[in-house]
Every structure is written in structure tokens, then in C-alpha cells.
Amino acid sequence: MSRQFGEQSYKEGEDPEDLKKEMADVLFVLVCLANQCGVNLEEVIVKNMERKAARDSERHLKNPKLEK
């Protein structure tokens, strides 16, 4: 992450595509954990996004960094 979005540069032989592989690994583990715990990820992500949308609907309207 720090190489792609931060100030660190890639090391010789390091593939920028590795981040995608790492994210896929994390997602796989999350899905396995959800299955073990009986958590419906689709249901909880929908609820989470609804909560964030309601909370943040006007959050950035007056942010000067985001003005066009």
C-alpha cells in the first residue's frame, strides 16, 4: 500500500499487481471467516452502506478540497 499510494518506491522485481493478489487473499479469508461464523456478508455490507450513506449524505458538501 505504501508503495502504491505512499512515498515508498517499488523494489526491484516487485510487481505492482501484487497488491491485487494480496487484496484477493484478504477477501478470501474474510469470506471463509464469515462462512464459519454464519455471517451473511451480502446482508451486512448492504446495511453498512445504507448506514454510511445516511450518515455521510451531506458530510462533504462544504469541504473546500472537493469544490469543483
Task: Give the model confidence (pLDDT) of 12-67 as tens digits.
Answer: 777 878 888 989 999 999 999 999 999 999 999 999 999 999 998 888 888 888 77
Containing H/E element for 43? helix 41-56
Residue 26 exposure: Cα atoms within 13 Å on the Cβ side: 6
Q: What is the pLDDT of residue 49?
A: 95
Residue 2 exposure: Cα atoms within 13 Å on the Cβ side: 3
- Is-contact 41 48, C-beta < 8 A? no
Q: What is the pLDDT of residue 61?
A: 81
- Is-contact 40 29, C-beta < 8 A? no
